[in-house]
């Protein structure tokens, strides 16, 4: 058996498969195995979720390792450590499986990991011009790619890239990203869910929501969007013009694909700014909580249905809550790492409650 070309062998255990693929994509065979990995990742939401958990577990473990003293720095390498390829990757995969098992068993919840542990692994080269780019919770991060193109990652996003002499290949695994693409002879292709977006010197957003809905919005230039309905169907491209958007389901593309006008209220998200025009308070709070470690809560359904208009900075969650309370004449209660919007302060009023203005 050729150990150096070993593939994930436990199709019944996605956690183990994801750990092995994560190790492979950080090893010397990353470029050679890229297409195989992309096919595994595109199988469905469960595969992407498993890979996301492994990536998060690795970033946490990396942070802990960097904090620990290096007692073995001068030790001579063992013969096994000098062997390239599978031995090192297997060790990484085993460690990731063990760490992920703790997370799956509920000893530490994913929410606790996001709030208390290291939340980002810097985009490192997995092999050649392959990289994994992540943003942590609450962060908006801009990265320049090898061709000079720029990608801006919204909060808690994950992007994989692979550039070679023939293709600029990108996959959005989680979250949202804005791509400002430099002109080049090589196609620039972004994969998300079961679709691809091919760009030519352009600016556009791609978002992958938790419900597996993919949104493509074009600002400049042109893009061709292809959605794979099934393995046998031909992929018919849909060309977008500036100001248009297209939405499709990552797992189910049976519904007709419709091109609509893109809303202008969300174009400034890379600046942390969002515009609203008659939007439910509950929807505004839900969007802001994507950036928050301590969330905003709304006490009652009728309060949640109140309409909000204006321009806000979503990343400053406390100031946003204060502004919303002031505009809607609500009380604001602070405590337990959260902000609660209510109609009035409880009686007797406590110091942590700011009454309506």
For position 348, what pLDDT does the model report?
82
For position 327, what pLDDT does the model report?
92
For position 72, what pLDDT does the model report?
38
Q: CB neighbours (10 Å) of residue 300?
A: 10
Could you tell me the domains of the chain? 1-70+78-119 (no CATH), 121-262 (2.60.120.1440), 269-354 (3.55.50.30)
Instruction: Flag residues of the chain having pLDDT under 50.
Output: 1-7, 9-12, 59-88, 99-128
For position 129, what pLDDT does the model report?
75
For position 192, what pLDDT does the model report?
93
For position 56, what pLDDT does the model report?
54
Q: Which residue do the tokens 């809303």 mark?
A: 263
For position 24, what pLDDT does the model report?
84
Cα–Cα dist 151/135, whole Å:
11
For position 230, what pLDDT does the model report?
62
| Exposed/middle/buried for residue 169 (C-beta within 10 Å: 0-12, 13-18, 19+) | buried
For 78-92, write each residue's pLDDT tens digit. Answer: 434 444 444 445 555
For position 111, what pLDDT does the model report?
33
pTM, full prediction: 0.65
User: Which residues contact residue 169 at a Cβ distance below 8 angstroms, ignoring those fewer than 6 apart?
Assistant: 34, 161, 162, 163, 189, 191
Cα–Cα dist 267/204, whole Å:
10
For position 46, what pLDDT does the model report?
76
For position 16, what pLDDT does the model report?
82
Alpha helices in 140-288 (DSSP H): 281-288
For position 249, what pLDDT does the model report?
82
């Amino acid at each position: 058996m050729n150990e150096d070309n070993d593939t994930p062998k436990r199709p019944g255990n996605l956690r183990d498969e994801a750990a092995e693929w994560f190790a492979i994509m950080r090893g010397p065979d990353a470029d050679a195995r890229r297409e195989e990995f992309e096919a595994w990742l595109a199988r469905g939401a469960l595969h992407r979720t498993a890979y996301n958990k492994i990536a998060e577990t690795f970033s946490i473990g990396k942070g802990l390792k960097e904090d620990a003293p290096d007692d073995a720095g001068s030790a001579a390498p063992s013969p096994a450590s000098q062997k390239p390829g599978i031995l090192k990757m297997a060790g990484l995969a085993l460690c990731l499986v063990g760490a992920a098992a703790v997370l799956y068993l509920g000893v530490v919840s994913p929410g606790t990991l996001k709030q208390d542990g290291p939340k980002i692994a810097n985009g490192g080269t997995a092999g050649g011009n392959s990289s994994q780019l992540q943003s942590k919770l609450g962060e908006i991060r801009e990265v320049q790619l090898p061709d000079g193109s720029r990608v801006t990652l919204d909060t808690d996003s994950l992007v994989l890239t692979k550039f070679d002499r023939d293709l600029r290949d990108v996959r959005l695994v989680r979250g949202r990203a804005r791509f400002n693409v430099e002109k080049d002879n090589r196609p620039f292709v972004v994969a998300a869910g079961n679709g691809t977006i091919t760009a030519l010197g352009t600016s556009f957003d791609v978002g992958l929501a938790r419900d597996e809905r993919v949104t493509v919005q074009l600002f400049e230039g042109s893009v061709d969007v292809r959605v794979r309905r099934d393995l046998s169907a031909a992929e018919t491209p849909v060309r977008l013009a500036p100001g248009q958007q297209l939405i499709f389901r990552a797992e189910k593309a049976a519904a007709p694909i419709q091109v609509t006008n893109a809303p202008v209220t969300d174009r400034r998200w890379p600046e942390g700014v969002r515009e609203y025009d008659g939007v439910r308070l509950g929807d505004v709070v839900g969007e802001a909580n994507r950036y928050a470690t301590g969330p905003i809560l709304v006490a009652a359904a009728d309060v949640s249905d109140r309409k909000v208009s204006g321009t806000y900075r979503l990343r400053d969650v406390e100031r946003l809550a204060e502004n919303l309370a002031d505009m809607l004449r609500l009380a604001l209660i602070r405590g337990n790492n959260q902000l609660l919007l209510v109609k009035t302060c409880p009686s007797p009023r406590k110091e942590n409650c700011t009454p309506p203005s």
